[in-house]
């Protein structure tokens, strides 16, 4: 089973040319005559040659590999993001290594270290909390470009450029919309307290509430469906006067939605919900979930482009970029239009 793999040299012998020529053919250089190239290609097929990237990388400086580290791959928001980044990078001839830290800082540090050893040219990282220093110092020491997205946790804060969404404005839009829809008692649900990702969204929420007489309330916790469902119950039991919620993300909102469905409270009529991220599923539940639309696919493409610019031309992206957001209002906040059920 383990006969030695043919190398560029075996191909060269078979084709009756030098190894340099084979190398040129492999890389599609235009300087080799078409006749020769064809012979070489035939020899490659005949010998069953496979390109050895490790050997090539040893000589070259760049590897064409980008590391993508995600903190929660079970959240569709991140899957959509990862998919979009991978597509954009592969269109430019880069391979993507996706890794899921699953909110485990130690695991993340270990994955980053392994990727550095494998010679990735750059990182896009939506970091987990914990072991920040270990994760980012490694990258900085190795001098590898790195784009931090969605969460800024690098210990010095200014080590790597950061791309995110305008979460504050999202919170503002969502809350204003709920007020316009007649909600009088709006809660903010989900997200761990004191994390920037949470406080930013909340700042918009709080701003919208100023002068309206509405009292802010918030329920903090992990951004999961389970937490959303739990809060639906808690609200029904303890603070039934709350009639609307701005959620940390769509996961929480969907949890809230099914929690209320279970309790028989009619979302869209008795209770209004706006989620955050606008994942595909928002359109696939009923009532459809209103959400702060983040155009995650575009965000992914932009991130990939900015990173490649950095890698290839040395053009470091701006330290901070906030992508705009908009509001996608659907049944959970507008109510259910008896006419409109056919679209």
1 scored as a contact of DNA (CB under 7 A): no
Residue number with CB closer to DNA (23 or 83)? 23
Residue number with CB closer to its own copies (57 or 176)? 57
Residue-by-residue DSSP string for 144-163: --EEEES----TTSSSS-EE
Measured CA to CA in angstroms, residue 2 lies from 5, 6, 48, 314 at distances of 8, 12, 14, 43
Are β-strands 162-165 and 146-149 bridged in parallel, bridged antiparallel, or unpaired?
parallel
**Minimum CB distance to its own copies, residue 250 (Å):** 13
Question: The tokens of 51 are what?
Answer: 């390109």
Residue number with CB closer to DNA (16 or 157)? 16
Cβ(326)–Cβ(173) below 8 Å: yes
Q: What is the rounded distance in angstroms from the CA atom of residue 264 to the CA atom of residue 164?
A: 37
Q: What is the rounded distance in angstroms from the CA atom of residue 142 to the CA atom of residue 118?
A: 12
**Minimum CB distance to DNA, residue 247 (Å):** 48
**Minimum CB distance to DNA, residue 57 (Å):** 8
**Minimum CB distance to DNA, residue 284 (Å):** 46
Residue with tokens 């209103």: 290
261 scored as a contact of DNA (CB under 7 A): no
156 scored as a contact of DNA (CB under 7 A): no
Binding partner of 285, given its own copies, DNA, none, CB within 5-8 angstroms per partner class: its own copies
323 scored as a contact of DNA (CB under 7 A): no
21 scored as a contact of DNA (CB under 7 A): yes
Q: What is the CA radius of gyration of the chain?
A: 26
Stretch of 57-65, 124-132, 263-271, 304-312 lying at the interface with DNA (CB under 7 A): 57-65
Residue number with CB closer to DNA (29 or 315)? 29
Q: Which residues bind its own copies (CB under 8 A)?
A: 1-2, 5, 48, 50-55, 57-58, 61, 63, 65, 73-74, 76, 79-80, 82-83, 86, 90, 95-100, 102, 107, 110-111, 114, 116-119, 141-143, 225-226, 229, 254-255, 258-259, 261-263, 280-281, 284-287, 314, 341
Binding partner of 33, given its own copies, DNA, none, CB within 5-8 angstroms per partner class: DNA
Q: What residues contact 19, with CB distance under 8 A and at least 6 apart?
A: 8, 9, 12
Measured CA to CA in angstroms, residue 281 lies from 105, 117, 218, 278, 333 at distances of 29, 38, 25, 8, 16
14-20 long-range CB contacts below 8 Å, 24 or more apart?
Answer: 14/43, 14/46, 14/47, 15/39, 15/40, 15/42, 15/43
**Minimum CB distance to its own copies, residue 264 (Å):** 9
- Residue 265's SS3 state is coil
Stretch of 47-55, 76-84, 291-299, 314-322 lying at the interface with DNA (CB under 7 A): 47-55
**Minimum CB distance to its own copies, residue 286 (Å):** 4
Sign of the CA dihedral 74, 79, 81, 86? positive
H or E element that contains 205:
helix 196-209
- Residues at the interface with DNA (CB under 7 A): 4-5, 7-9, 16-21, 23-24, 26-27, 30-33, 35-36, 49, 51-52, 55-56, 58-60
């Amino acid at each position: 089973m383990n006969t030695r793999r043919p190398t560029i040299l075996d191909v060269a012998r078979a084709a009756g040319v030098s190894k340099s020529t084979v190398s040129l053919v492999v890389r599609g250089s235009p300087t080799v005559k078409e006749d020769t190239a064809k012979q070489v290609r035939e020899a490659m097929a005949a010998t069953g040659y496979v390109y050895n990237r490790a050997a090539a990388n040893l000589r070259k400086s760049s590897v064409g590999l980008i590391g993508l580290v995600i903190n929660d791959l079970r959240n569709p928001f991140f899957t959509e993001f990862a998919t979009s980044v991978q597509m954009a990078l592969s269109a430019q001839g880069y391979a993507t290594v996706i890794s899921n830290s699953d909110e485990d800082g130690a695991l993340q540090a270990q994955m980053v270290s392994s990727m550095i050893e494998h010679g990735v040219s750059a990182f896009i990282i939506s970091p987990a909390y914990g072991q920040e220093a270990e994760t980012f110092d490694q990258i900085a020491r190795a001098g590898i470009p790195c784009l931090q997205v969605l969460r800024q946790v690098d210990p010095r804060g200014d080590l790597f450029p950061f791309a995110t969404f305008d979460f504050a404005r999202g919170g503002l839009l969502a809350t204003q919309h709920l007020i316009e829809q007649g909600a009088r008692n709006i809660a903010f649900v989900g997200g761990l307290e004191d994390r920037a990702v949470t406080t930013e969204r909340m700042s918009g929420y709080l701003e919208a509430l100023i002068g309206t007489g509405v009292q802010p309330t918030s329920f903090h916790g992990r951004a999961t469906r389970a937490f959303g469902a739990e809060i639906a119950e808690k609200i029904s039991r303890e603070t039934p006067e709350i009639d609307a919620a701005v959620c940390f993300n769509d996961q929480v909102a969907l949890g809230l939605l099914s929690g209320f469905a279970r309790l028989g409270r009619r979302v869209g009529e008795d209770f209004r919900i706006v989620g955050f991220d606008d994942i595909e599923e928002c359109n696939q539940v009923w009532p459809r979930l209103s959400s702060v639309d983040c155009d995650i696919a575009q965000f992914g493409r932009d991130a990939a482009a900015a990173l490649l610019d950095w890698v290839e031309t040395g053009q470091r992206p701006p330290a901070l970029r906030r992508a705009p957001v908009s509001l996608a209002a659907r049944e959970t906040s507008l109510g259910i239009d008896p006419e409109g059920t056919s679209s």
